[in-house]
Each structure stands twice: as structure tokens, then as C-alpha cells.
């Protein structure tokens, strides 16, 4: 599992916006910036849609005030699902990172296999990265939502 002091792995993400489909590398997203990255097991799932993502949407201005350049949400879903979820949640302040094959999530060492329920998914976690290096990392225990919330991450900044 990735640790504090580790660089984020290289990856190319597909991102959908109002302007269309683009790609962004890890370097483009994280180098020279302070970024909060949180991961959810799946878009449109109850805890993710009712608590996790809305917390970051609601606190986006407070993160910016604390020097955060971007807030990114990662899920092992495709870019179309992530865009639909972003629109449904009115989460334009959040950069949605689709990790359809789970490549980035596995490189972080934070993948989990949910079997027939959903297959490969991300563990629920949140981290702070400065200039592409992890400076804070909170990984949830299975089935929990306690240490990766927006409020908890704000307190770390």
C-alpha cells in the first residue's frame, strides 16, 4: 500500500467535462499542486452518494481557502459513469477520475475484490498529495466511513 512520502503512480485518466473527453496524466493532475484525492467503492452507491462525495462538494471552498488546488474523486468506474454521477451530485468543483480497469487503484495498493457484488473496487480512502507526493493518508476499515470524510481531511490541512 502507498505510504506517506511515496510519489503517486504514473497514470493517464480519461475525464469527461462539458467540453468533451480529455485525458490527464498523474503529473498534470498532481505535480506542482496540493491535491486532496478521495476514493469511493462505486459511483451512485449509498454512502458514496449520500455522504462521501457531498461532503467534499459542500466543503470545496474551505479546501481552496486552505491552499488546496484541486479535489479529485477516484472510483473504479468508467468516465461516462463518473460524469453522470458528477452531474447528478452537482459536483463541478470535484475532478472525477475514472479508473475503469483499476490500474491506478491497484498501483496504490488500495484495491479490493468484492467478488460477484461488483468485482474490483477501490477501498474507501482519502489522501493529500503535495507536488505528487503523499503527505497524509487515511484508509477506512472495511464497511466504515469515518477517517476519509471531508471534515477529517480538512482537519489535517
Active-site residues: which are they? 48
Burial grade of 120 (CB within 10 A; 0-12, 13-18, 19 or more): middle
Report yes or no: 84 and 73 within 8 Å, Cβ to Cβ: no
Report yes or no: 154 and 20 within 8 Å, Cβ to Cβ: no
Rounded-to-integer distance, Cα 12 and Cα 54, Å:
26
Rounded-to-integer distance, Cα 119 and Cα 138, Å:
23
123: number of CA atoms within 13 Å, CB side? 22
Report yes or no: 76 and 102 within 8 Å, Cβ to Cβ: yes
CA-closest candidate to residue 72, choices 86, 88, 87, 51: 86
Amino acid at each position: 500500500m502507498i505510504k506517506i512520502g511515496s510519489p503517486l503512480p504514473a497514470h493517464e485518466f480519461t475525464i469527461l467535462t462539458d467540453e468533451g473527453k480529455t485525458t490527464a496524466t498523474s503529473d498534470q493532475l498532481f505535480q506542482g499542486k496540493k491535491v486532496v484525492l478521495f476514493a469511493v467503492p462505486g459511483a451512485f452507491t449509498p454512502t458514496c452518494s449520500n455522504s462521501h462525495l457531498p461532503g467534499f462538494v459542500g466543503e470545496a471552498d474551505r479546501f481552496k481557502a486552505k491552499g488546496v488546488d484541486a479535489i479529485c474523486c477516484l472510483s473504479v468506474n468508467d468516465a461516462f459513469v463518473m460524469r453522470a454521477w458528477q452531474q447528478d451530485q452537482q459536483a463541478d468543483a470535484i475532478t472525477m477520475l475514472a479508473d475503469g480497469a483499476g490500474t491506478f487503484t491497484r498501483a496504490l495498493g488500495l484495491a479490493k475484490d468484492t467478488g460477484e457484488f461488483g468485482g474490483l473496487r477501490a477501498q474507501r480512502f482519502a489522501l493529500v498529495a503535495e507536488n505528487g507526493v503523499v503527505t497524509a493518508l487515511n484508509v477506512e476499515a472495511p464497511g466504515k466511513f469515518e477517517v476519509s470524510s471531508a471534515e477529517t481531511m480538512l482537519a489535517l490541512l
